[in-house]
Structure 1
Amino acid sequence: MGRAFEYRRAAKEKRWDKMSKVFPKLAKAITLAAKDGGSEPDTNAKLRTAILNAKAQNMPKDNIDAAIKRASSKEGNLSEITYEGKANFGVLIIMECMTDNPTRTIANLKSYFNKTQGASIVPNGSLEFMFNRKSVFECLKNEVENLKLSLEDLEFALIDYGLEELEEVEDKIIIRGDYNSFKLLNEGFESLRLPILKASLQRIATTPIELNDEQMELTEKLLDRIEDDDDVVALYTNIE
């Protein structure tokens, strides 16, 4: 499929299924969204989406409520920071973090790269131009069918809301649009009363690369370490 954010889809989703790891990441996204735009989902689209993503991962309501309340406490002092790195075989890595301690976060990331020969953190902005930012939404195909819509109908309905690309992947429909169309696309789904399975802002490599199995196995050791860090909420590479 050639999507950098979907490298080894099954392997990545398996890792994210570790509840002990995924819940803290989801909670941070909720807390930061509530801090930035208020604690009412009805008037805060970013919070509404963060809650939706948390529910999709079966995060308990009590955890969600606690994450929202945390926004008004000292624990809610989170910052969004992006770091960039390179690894062997021409692999480029962008790491989006939410942290209450940037010093700790960068120290941890540097340690992961230092343990991998040929890998290093690079100055922010070095890799930005090699990725396009996109709004990405997922919904279930049967939810579309329940609304008596064909894929062509869905595509036509969402074009005015910023849809650029629609793709069918197994039982899901993936919608992509410009980075700045996130709020508008969200409104499009709401206007259709079409439930969103997942929604996120993602970085897609302009020139993806292919790795053989041996190269991928070595690279995934570094990627696993990064993804297992609670401060890292999103990881993007240029891997095909």
Structure 2
Amino acid sequence: MGRAFEARRAGKEKRWGEMSRLFPKLGKVITMAAKAGGSDPESNTALKTAVNNAKAQNMPKDNIEKAIKRATAADAANYDEVSYEGKGPHGALLWVECATDNATRTVANVKSIFNKNGGQVVNNGSLDFMFDRKAVIEFAKSDDLDLEDIELNLIDHGLEEMDVQDDRVLIYGDFTSFGDLTKACEDMGIEGVKATLQRISNNPQEFTEAQIEEIEVLIDKLEEDDDVQSVFTNIA
């Protein structure tokens, strides 16, 4: 499932937070959720998840509140969620998820980034069978948490796999279990939960470190684009 890549990604997200590169992307998700389902997190599950994820990335409360208010502004942008699939250097596969108010601009930018960095965009649907859509729940590992009890409880809510690492715990389930898994973690009082829907390769590939560095140049360029929310790959 690309565990090593996820570990690198976690470190990258931490750096993004320090540089405030991640906050505008998180804010866009919050605005979209508030516009679609209302500005009250308690009655809007998608907004509550977006806010919790932003808090888990140490996004300031003031930024979160501004993102919610933007949803009700008279000139609030209408964002669409769009995805692009592509191949990178050395045959790496990439799935790019975006949120945009101008799909023409976004597709042009994504294609340009691929072309300039040894890759190419392929027809949507080409990689459907290469990636599984999963609910991924992440929280900090703590001596106060009974992980065996948590695992047994979450099995009833769609847990497929639990990955315990040095400092964090990752919960995997089918994307249809996203809401149940998130709520179950909340009901158990687990703090700092980050819940996302991810595209995870069902056939991860090994690459050399030199190849990975070249692939990550493309990934970094994609993630620098304001419209790009997430990039998933088949790096093992």
TM-score (normalised: structure 1): 0.91
Alpha-carbon RMSD across the aligned residues, in angstroms, is: 1.8
Which residue in the other structure is 1:232 paired with?
A: 228
Q: What 5-or-longer segments of structure 2 have no aligned partner?
A: none
Number of corresponding residues:
235
Structure 1 contact 85–93 (Cα < 8 Å) conserved: yes
1:132 aligns with 2:132: yes
Pick which of 49-58 and 67-76 moved more. 67-76
1:209 aligns with 2:205: yes
- Following TM superposition, by how much is the alpha carbon of 1:207 offset from its aligned partner in structure 2, in angstroms? 0.6
Cα deviation digits, residues 49-104 of structure 1 (max 9, x gap): 11011112221212111111111233331111111111121211011101111111
- Following TM superposition, by how much is the alpha carbon of 1:116 offset from its aligned partner in structure 2, in angstroms? 2.0
Of residues 137, 142, 162, the one that matches 2:158 is 162
Q: What 5-or-longer segments of structure 1 have no aligned partner?
A: none
Alignment of structure 1 residues 12-27 onto 2, 5 Å: 12-27=12-27
Alignment of structure 1 residues 43-82 onto 2, 5 Å: 43-73=43-73, 74-82=75-83
Which residue in the other structure is 2:141 paired with?
A: 141
* Separation of aligned partners in 1, 2:157 and 2:219: 34
TM-score (normalised: structure 2): 0.93
SS of aligned partner of 2:35 = helix
Which residue in the other structure is 1:109 paired with?
A: 110
Structure 2 contact 201–234 (Cα < 8 Å) conserved: yes
- Following TM superposition, by how much is the alpha carbon of 1:197 offset from its aligned partner in structure 2, in angstroms? 2.9
Letter in 2 for 1:197: V
The percent of aligned pairs where both chains have the same amino acid is: 54
Cα deviation digits, residues 120-177 of structure 1 (max 9, x gap): 11111111221001111111222xx43xx52211111111111111111112111111
Pick which of 71-80 and 32-41 moved more. 71-80
* Separation of aligned partners in 2, 1:137 and 1:153: 16
1:151 aligns with 2:147: yes
* Separation of aligned partners in 2, 1:224 and 1:94: 13
Structure 2 contact 89–214 (Cα < 8 Å) conserved: no
* Separation of aligned partners in 1, 2:213 and 2:182: 37
Letter in 2 for 1:133: R
Structure 1 contact 38–44 (Cα < 8 Å) conserved: yes
Pick which of 84-93 and 24-33 moved more. 84-93
SS of aligned partner of 1:80 = strand
Pick which of 16-25 and 173-182 moved more. 16-25
* Separation of aligned partners in 2, 1:90 and 1:15: 27
1:29 aligns with 2:29: yes
Of residues 171, 188, 193, the one that matches 1:192 is 188
